[in-house]
């Protein structure tokens, strides 16, 4: 009876939410492309990128000089003047960015390193292009007064993004080829940008018309101004509300062929059974990118090497479920969002049916050789197509494997889509296979409402039988987002035999319902910009309807005018453990556990030269106690040198024993220029009782061509710091040839 009532109440709550949404006052209509339009002007001669904007050709450029505040006062005029100039020729799009400032000595710029989060916290310009005008996807470019570069691909308007949680709908690791020069001047700062047409994909049309929006962040005021105004619940990724960039014609992508041969060389020393094993490495490989059509891109990789990929951040797992580590390898990154079928939110994700880290990495994170692979991704009209085939070699006594992934989506209406996914994994020399078939949809019947989900089935052979174990997985999410409220309800149902081996699935054999409500009042006192009180309820059963987990989550987030953030929460948890499991050698026995969790954290203004984070979380924990604490301190010593240290402790007291887990990390970044930088990361994990150090030098000596020098080592004696386990030095050079 209890389970029946819970499900009935869940249904009633979900139905009530949808009724309230349907009765809500309609949101403002989407901004029409005719309302905000700008024409690019063909340049008489290519401008020289020197950060001055003194050439006559800029005087004839298309111009945007009207911006509107979003923060702190939505709809108000900007407190500083901004102008953007737009030119093009057959091969490039040029942007001139002029940011006047009444206090130029207050311009905040301390970051030169490419793709750093800090660029977003300082003075910057952000530009997004919806080249297909599909109101879903885009290319985003960010620069600052030092000429630093950040670029990313946007899918599904960045849905699911939350601070601190990566989402596959924002591909930060995509690196496009573009050029920028910037400088601080006596009345503000200036930047000049050139984006080669071959960097972008767009329709095969004589006349081009793209979606466009531009945002300027005024760092010291924490003020954001937009060309096309957006209400506070949206950010620049909301390309369905963008304006229109017109006037470009007779563009030339050449042969649309980019070939990048690479060579690697180096040596490694690995300790195996107490003996040193020295390996000298040298290899050649090739990556190729070819525009099959204006909208479709073919990528081919041969003898793939990921020597330059950054190491994973250390994480402590104090649950019995696997952790999520994001993809960082270049070949899998571009257009990665086109393969995505999974949870709507990146927080506590339930499933991703395709997770590229399952290819070329063992379960312990060791590299598995990739012989080669190919990807075809892009658009044909309203159709999105993504196909991937990768072959791995034998490793660790296991057969090589072939991975085939195909995803198709059809864009319908203004912001909706339907599609399907097929994933096939097969041993090269063996009988094992695993297949996933899925149908997914994302429907947006109202500008503030999105409903999305999937139905999937997997096939895996049963050991010693010709039969296969079929499993079913289902997921649905409905989200309402406006300037004052964020509601969502979601439900996931994954059977015991649901087994997407090339996906991310932390838990199977469950049904989970979650309902979330969040409000965003703006009290305008004590320097508070916005409050974010929220409550959500999560209820989990097994496939027989038996309650195995429940959580009530209460949180109050407080964002201040200066960018600082205070967060407080309380969780009331229930967890049923049917099978005993171990945490750091301490067994948690079978039983029902109820425990409370408190947490308070404070982040100072991240744009300051000295910034910090403090976290304290006392809680009950499986019949005992657990206390978590984190201290982070960052220092921007200059616009070239910065460092950040972090220490986290988990102090656990359980009936079966006690233990303490310490994580420590030190990052040092030194940028000689926007195209040359060194990053060093040293991490300590007391669970493995070892230090790991990774240092990476990257020099982009020509756009798209790089030289990497990578040094990695693991030391396992924290007292002397002398005894090492593994050590590696690799040099990798790539050279881009375009035609």
Residue-wise pLDDT for 567-592, tens only, equals 999 999 999 999 999 988 899 999 99
**Contact predicate 662/647, CB 8 Å:** yes
Helix and strand totals (H; E) in the chain: 2, 42
Neighbours of 431 (CB within 10 A): 10
In this structure, which topology does domain 31-249 adopt according to CATH? Immunoglobulin-like (2.60.40)
Q: Is 192 helix (H, G, I), strand (E, B) or coil?
A: strand
Rounded to an integer, the average pLDDT of 371-393 is 93
pLDDT of amino acid 722: 55
Non-local CB neighbours of 321 within 8 Å, separated by 6+ positions: 506, 507
Q: DSSP H helical segments within 229-287, as ranges?
A: none
Is 625 in a helix, a strand, or coil? strand
**Maximal C-alpha separation, the chain:** 79
465 Cβ partners below 8 Å, 6+ apart?
Answer: none
Band of residue 465 on the pLDDT scale cut at 50, 70, 90: low
Structure-block tokens of residue 198: 């071959």
Q: How confident is the model at residue 335 (pLDDT cuts 50, 70, 90)?
A: confident
Residue-wise pLDDT tens digits, 511-543: 999 999 999 999 888 899 999 999 999 999 999
Q: Which residues of 232-249 are buried (b: 16+ CB within 10 A; e: fewer)?
A: bebbbbbbbbbbbbbbbe
Determine if residue 5 is left, alpha or beta; phi over 0 gives left, psi from -120 to 50 gives alpha, anything else beta: alpha
| Inter-residue contact 407 to 423 (CB < 8 Å) | no
Q: Coil, helix or strand for 636? A: strand
pLDDT at residue number 24: 39
Rg of the chain on CA atoms, in Å:
26
Mean pLDDT of 412-421: 92
The first and second tokens of residue 124, run together, are 């910057």
pLDDT value, residue 322:
63
Note the pLDDT of residue 477. 95
Mean pLDDT on 1-9? 43
Bond before 72 cis per omega within 30 degrees: yes
Q: Say which residue the tokens 């979330």 belong to.
A: 516
Distance, CA of 500 to CA of 459 (rounded, Å): 8
Q: Give the separation between CA 79 and CA 69, rounded to whole angstroms.
A: 9
Burial of 365 (0-12, 13-18, 19+ CB in 10 A): exposed
**Token pair in block for residue 523:** 């009290």
- Contact assessment for residue 371 and residue 393, using Cβ atoms and an 8 Å cutoff: yes
Predicted local distance difference test score (pLDDT) of residue 424: 97
3-state secondary structure 360-414: CECCCCCECCEEEEEEEEEEECCEEEEEEEEEECCECCECCEEEEEEEEEEEECC
188-196 and 68-71: which strand pairing? unpaired
Tokens for 206? 């004589």
Tokens of 302: 């041969």
Q: What share of the chain is helix, strand, coil (3-state, %, to 5)?
A: 10, 55, 35
Nearest by Cα to 450 from 675, 135, 75: 135
**What are the pLDDT digits (tens) for 624-646?**
999 999 999 999 888 889 999 99
SS3 671: strand
Distance CA 377, CA 336 (A): 9
Q: What is the pLDDT of residue 471?
A: 92
Q: What is the mean pLDDT of the chain?
A: 87
Angle at 269 between CA 268 and CA 275, to 5 degrees: 155
Higher pLDDT, 262 or 82: 82
- Residue 366 clears pLDDT 80, i.e. is over it: no
Q: State the DSSP code for 21.
A: H
Mind spelling out the 3-state secondary structure of 53-92? CCCHHHHCCEEECCCEEEECCCCCCCCCCEEEEEEECCCE
- Please determine, for residue 469, whether its predicted confidence score (pLDDT) is greater than 90: no
Residue 548 has pLDDT above 60, yes or no: yes
Look at phi and psi of residue 126 and say left if phi exceeds 0, alpha if psi is from -120 to 50, else beta: beta
Other beta carbons within 10 Å of 374: 15
Nearest to 286 by CA among 299, 274, 268, 273: 299
Instruction: Domain ranges for the chain, please list them.
Output: 31-249
H/E run at residue 16: helix 2-23
CA distance 476 to 457: 15
The predicted-structure confidence for 139-184, as pLDDT tens digits, reads as follows: 999 999 999 999 999 988 888 766 655 677 888 878 889 999 999 9
Q: What percent of the chain has pLDDT over 90?
A: 63
- For the chain, give the number of residues: 739
Q: Taking residues 55-59, report their average pLDDT.
A: 93
> Which H or E run contains 2?
helix 2-23
Most confident of 157-171, 314-328, 346-360, 699-713: 699-713
| Residues 338/407, Cβ–Cβ less than 8 Å | yes
Predicted pLDDT of residue 704: 85
pLDDT at 15 over 80: no
Task: Tokens 């990556």: give the residue.
Answer: 287
CA distance 642 to 117: 13
Share of the chain above pLDDT 70, in %: 88
* Residue 483 to residue 318: CA distance in whole angstroms: 36
Phi and psi at residue 670, to the nearest 5°: -130, 120
What value does the mean pLDDT take over residues 490-516?
Answer: 94
């Amino acid at each position: 009876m209890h389970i029946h009532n819970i499900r009935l109440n869940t249904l009633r709550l979900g139905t009530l939410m949808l009724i309230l949404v349907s009765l809500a006052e309609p949101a403002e209509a989407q901004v029409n492309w005719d309302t905000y339009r700008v024409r690019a002007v063909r340049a008489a001669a290519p401008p020289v990128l020197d950060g001055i904007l003194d050439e006559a050709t800029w005087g004839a450029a298309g111009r945007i000089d009207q911006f509107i505040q979003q923060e702190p006062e939505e709809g108000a005029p900007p407190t500083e003047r901004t102008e953007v100039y737009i030119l093009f020729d057959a091969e490039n799009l040029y942007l001139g960015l002029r940011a006047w400032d009444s206090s130029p000595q207050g311009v905040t710029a301390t970051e030169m390193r490419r793709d750093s989060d800090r660029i977003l916290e300082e003075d910057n310009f952000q530009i997004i292009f919806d080249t297909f005008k599909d109101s879903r996807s885009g290319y985003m470019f960010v620069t600052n007064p030092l000429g630093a570069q950040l670029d990313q691909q946007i899918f599904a308007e960045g849905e699911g993004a939350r601070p601190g949680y990566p989402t596959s709908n924002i591909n930060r690791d995509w690196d496009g080829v573009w050029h920028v020069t910037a400088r601080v001047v006596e009345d503000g700062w200036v930047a000049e940008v050139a984006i080669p047409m071959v960097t972008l994909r767009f329709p095969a049309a004589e006349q081009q018309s793209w979606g466009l929006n531009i945002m300027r962040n005024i760092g010291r005021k924490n003020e954001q101004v937009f060309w096309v105004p957006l209400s506070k619940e949206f950010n620049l990724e909301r390309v369905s509300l963008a304006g229109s960039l017109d006037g470009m014609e007779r563009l030339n992508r050449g042969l649309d062929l980019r070939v990048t041969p690479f060579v690697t060389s180096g040596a490694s020393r690995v300790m195996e059974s107490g003996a040193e094993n020295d390996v000298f490495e040298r290899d050649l490989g090739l990556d190729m990118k070819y525009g099959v059509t204006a909208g479709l891109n073919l990528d081919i990789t041969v003898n793939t090497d990921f020597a330059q990929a950054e190491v994973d951040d250390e994480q402590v797992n104090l649950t019995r479920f696997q952790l999520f580590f994001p993809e960082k390898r270049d070949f899998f990154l571009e257009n990665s969002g086109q393969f995505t079928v999974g949870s709507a939110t990146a927080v506590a994700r339930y499933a991703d049916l395709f997770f590229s880290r399952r290819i070329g990495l063992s379960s312990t994170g060791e590299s598995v050789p990739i012989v080669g692979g190919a990807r075809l991704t892009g658009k044909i009209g309203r159709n999105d197509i993504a196909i991937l085939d990768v072959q791995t070699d034998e490793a660790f006594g296991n057969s090589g494997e072939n991975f085939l992934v195909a995803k198709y989506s059809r864009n319908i209406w203004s912001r909706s889509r339907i599609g399907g996914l097929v994933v096939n994994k097969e041993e090269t020399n063996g009988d094992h296979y695993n297949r996933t078939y899925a149908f997914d949809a994302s429907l947006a019947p109202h500008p503030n409402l999105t409903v999305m989900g999937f139905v999937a089935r997997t096939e895996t052979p049963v050991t010693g039988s010709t039969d296969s174990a079929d499993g079913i997985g289902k997921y649905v999410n409905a989200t309402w987002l406006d300037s004052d409220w964020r509601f969502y309800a979601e439900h996931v149902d994954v059977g015991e035999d649901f087994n997407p081996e090339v996906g991310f699935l932390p838990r199977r054999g469950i049904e989970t319902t979650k309902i979330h409500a969040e409000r965003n009042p703006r009290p305008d006192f004590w320097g508070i910009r916005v409050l974010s009180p929220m409550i959500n309820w999560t209820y989990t059963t097994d496939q027989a309807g038996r309650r195995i987990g429940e959580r009530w989550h209460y949180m109050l987030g407080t964002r201040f005018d200066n960018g600082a953030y205070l967060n407080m929460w309380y969780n009331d948890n229930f967890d049923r453990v049917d099978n005993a499991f171990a945490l750091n050698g301490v067994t948690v026995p079978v039983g029902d556990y109820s425990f409370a969790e408190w947490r308070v954290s404070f982040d100072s203004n991240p744009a300051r030269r000295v910034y910090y984070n403090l976290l304290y979380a006392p809680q009950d924990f499986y019949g005992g106690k657990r206390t978590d604490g984190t201290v982070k301190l960052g220092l921007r010593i200059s616009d070239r040198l910065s460092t950040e240290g972090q220490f986290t402790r988990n102090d656990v007291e359980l009936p079966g024993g006690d233990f303490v887990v310490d994580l420590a990390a030190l990052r040092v970044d030194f940028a000689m220029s926007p195209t040359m930088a060194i990053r060093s990361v040293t991490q300590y994990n007391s669970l493995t009782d070892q230090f790991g150090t990774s240092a990476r030098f990257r020099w982009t000596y020509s756009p798209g061509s790089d030289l990497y020098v990578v040094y990695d080592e693991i030391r396992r004696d924290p007292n002397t710091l002398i005894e090492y386990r593994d050590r590696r030095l690799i040099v990798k050079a790539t050279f881009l040839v375009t035609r």
